[in-house]
């Protein structure tokens, strides 16, 4: 009898442990926001930077007390029609808040109109809508905001990294100018526009004369970066002194092309990107990439989640929530690597 009782108690304890283990999968169903539904639209899952962003966003939301099963993150596949259908779906499901990384920033007014009409608060991330659109949020006192960094700052920092090398170092062909090529992200996106403009403005502000050999659109993609820089290296050869890439993914592609062409970053060519992807920061430490700019996905994703929580708890947000970039050179690359890896 005693034996039976012990095994019964044991069996009960085991099933309780199993129950607890199952529940671990969704530790926060009782969290502060366990019953709140969050819809997250990402413009494209295959984007390296947005992958870091969305992973951190989900982890942070769970830490704050959301339930994993109530956080739905969808891939817009770089197609606005696909993303618009996903937004309609989230509205039909009645999510409590939407976090949107638009495929086309120019579609923001249409998106805002339907999300606001549905009474759902909205946090835009990464791709900033234009000033006229942002002005509407304040004028109408809508629960809509943008979380991101000012891309002008990242462009300026890229230019400064190059300018700080000094003309004597950069000007290997001795024509008195900085001869460069520019590889741009999606030109619909202000990050691409500003980085292209402000990186060069920083060179000029430092008193350098610039010579643009080529300016091409690589759509933020590594493969395109490799292809475009490869073509330019065949066409312009040793005349190219600096390669500016609007992001690190394209800089990684550029590096492959540079190495294939038998050139060496730091001795006969210079290369800069933006984002501070782990791989790139390691290359900065090794001297294989001249520098990059840390696009703080921790701060941006946390601020986006905090803004969403504010809306859910009836606390207003500023309509623009900013964040600073950080210049990454050999001097601080190890520090940044410790932070991002
Ligand atoms: C990042 C890019 C990324 C883009 C997506 C930018 O801020 O630097 O790497 O592709 O955002 O919109």
Q: Are residues 120 and 179 in the same domain?
A: no
Same domain, 131 and 184: no
Residue 320 has phi, psi (to 5 degrees) of -125, 120
- Output Rg (C-alpha) for the chain, integer angstroms: 24
Residues 19 and 113 in one domain: yes
By the 10 Å C-beta count (0-12 exposed, 13-18 middle, 19+ buried), 148 is classed as buried
Nearest CA to ligand 1 atom 6: 191
Ligand 1 centroid, distance to 237 Cα (angstroms): 29
Quote the mean pLDDT of the chain: 93
Q: Encoding tokens for residue 304?
A: 């986006």
Q: Please report the DSSP string for 217-282 in residue order.
A: E-TT-HHHHHHHHHHHHHHHGGG--EEEESSHHHHHHHHHHHHHTT--BTTTBEEE-SB--HHHHH
Q: Which SS3 state, helix, strand or coil, does residue 337 take?
A: helix
pLDDT bucket at 289, cuts 50 / 70 / 90: very high
For residue 7, is pLDDT > 50? no
Q: Which two tokens stand for residue 52?
A: 């870091």
Distance between Cα 50 and ligand 1 center (Å): 7
Judge if 114 and 219 occupy the same domain: no
Residues 124 and 217 placed together within one structural domain of the fold: no
- In this structure, the answer to whether residues 53 and 187 fall within a common structural domain is no
Q: Of the given ranges (4-8, 104-108, 216-220, 267-271), which has the lowest mean pLDDT?
A: 4-8
Residue 337 inside a domain? The answer is no
- Give the mean model confidence (pLDDT) for residues 296-303: 98
200 alpha carbon to ligand 1 midpoint, in Å? 19
Ligand 1 atom, smallest distance to 151 CA = 7
90 and 174 co-located in one domain: no
Residue bearing the bigger pLDDT, 10 or 32: 32
The total number of structural domains that make up the chain: 2
In this structure, the residues whose C-beta lies within 6 A of any atom of ligand 1 are: 47, 49-50, 126-127, 185, 189, 191, 220, 247, 249, 274-275, 295
> According to the model, what pLDDT value does residue 30 have?
67
The answer to whether residue 335 sits within a structural domain is no
**In testing the pocket of ligand 1, which one of 126, 294, 323 has its CB within 8 Å of the most ligand atoms?**
126
How many helices (H) and strands (E) are present in the chain, helices listed first? 13, 12
Domain annotation covers residue 9: yes
Where residue 6 sits, what CATH number does that domain have?
Answer: 3.40.50.2300
Q: Compute the distance between CA of residue 166 and CA of residue 53 in angstroms, rounded to an integer.
A: 35
Whether 14 and 142 map to the same domain: the answer is yes
Q: Do 313 and 213 share a structural domain?
A: no
Question: 247 alpha carbon to ligand 1 midpoint, in Å?
Answer: 7
pTM above 0.85, yes or no: yes
Residue 172 lies in a domain: yes
> In which domain, by residue range, is 40 found?
2-150+296-324
Asked whether residue 21 falls in the same domain as residue 128, the answer is yes
Residue 31 confidence (pLDDT): 87
34: left (phi over 0), alpha (psi -120 to 50) or beta: alpha
338 located within any domain: no
In a domain, 341, yes or no: no
């Amino acid at each position: 009898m005693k034996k039976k009782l012990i095994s019964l108690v044991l069996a009960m304890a085991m099933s309780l442990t199993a129950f607890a283990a199952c529940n671990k999968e969704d530790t926060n169903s009782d969290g502060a926001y366990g019953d709140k539904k969050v819809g997250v639209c990402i413009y494209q899952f295959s984007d390296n930077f947005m992958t870091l962003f969305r992973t951190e966003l989900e982890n942070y939301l769970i830490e704050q007390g959301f339930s994993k099963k109530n956080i739905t993150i969808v891939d817009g596949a770089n197609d606005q029609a696909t993303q618009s259908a996903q937004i309609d779906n989230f509205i039909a499901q009645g999510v409590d808040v939407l976090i949107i990384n638009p495929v086309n920033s120019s579609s923001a007014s249409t998106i805002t109109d339907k999300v606001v009409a549905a009474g759902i608060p909205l946090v835009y991330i990464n791709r900033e809508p234009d000033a006229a659109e942002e002005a509407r949020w304040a004028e109408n006192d809508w629960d809509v905001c943008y979380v991101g960094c000012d891309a002008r700052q990242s462009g300026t920092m890229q230019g400064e990294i190059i300018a700080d090398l000094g003309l004597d170092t950069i000007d290997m062909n001795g024509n008195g100018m900085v001869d460069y090529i520019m590889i741009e992200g999606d030109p619909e996106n202000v990050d691409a526009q500003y980085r292209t403009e402000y990186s060069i403005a920083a060179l000029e502000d430092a008193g350098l004369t610039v010579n643009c050999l080529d300016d091409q659109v690589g759509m933020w993609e590594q493969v395109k970066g490799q292809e475009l820089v490869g073509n330019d290296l065949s066409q312009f050869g040793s005349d190219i002194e600096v390669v500016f890439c609007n992001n690190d993914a394209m800089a990684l592609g550029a590096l492959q092309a540079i190495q294939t062409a038998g050139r060496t970053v730091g001795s006969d060519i210079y290369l800069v990107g933006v984002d501070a992807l782990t791989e790139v920061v390691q290359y900065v430490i090794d001297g294989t990439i001249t520098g990059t700019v840390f696009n703080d996905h921790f701060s941006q994703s946390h601020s986006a989640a905090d803004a969403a929580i504010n809306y859910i708890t009836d606390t207003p947000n500023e309509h623009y929530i900013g964040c600073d970039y950080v210049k990454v050179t050999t001097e601080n690359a190890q520090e940044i690597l410790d932070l991002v890896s």
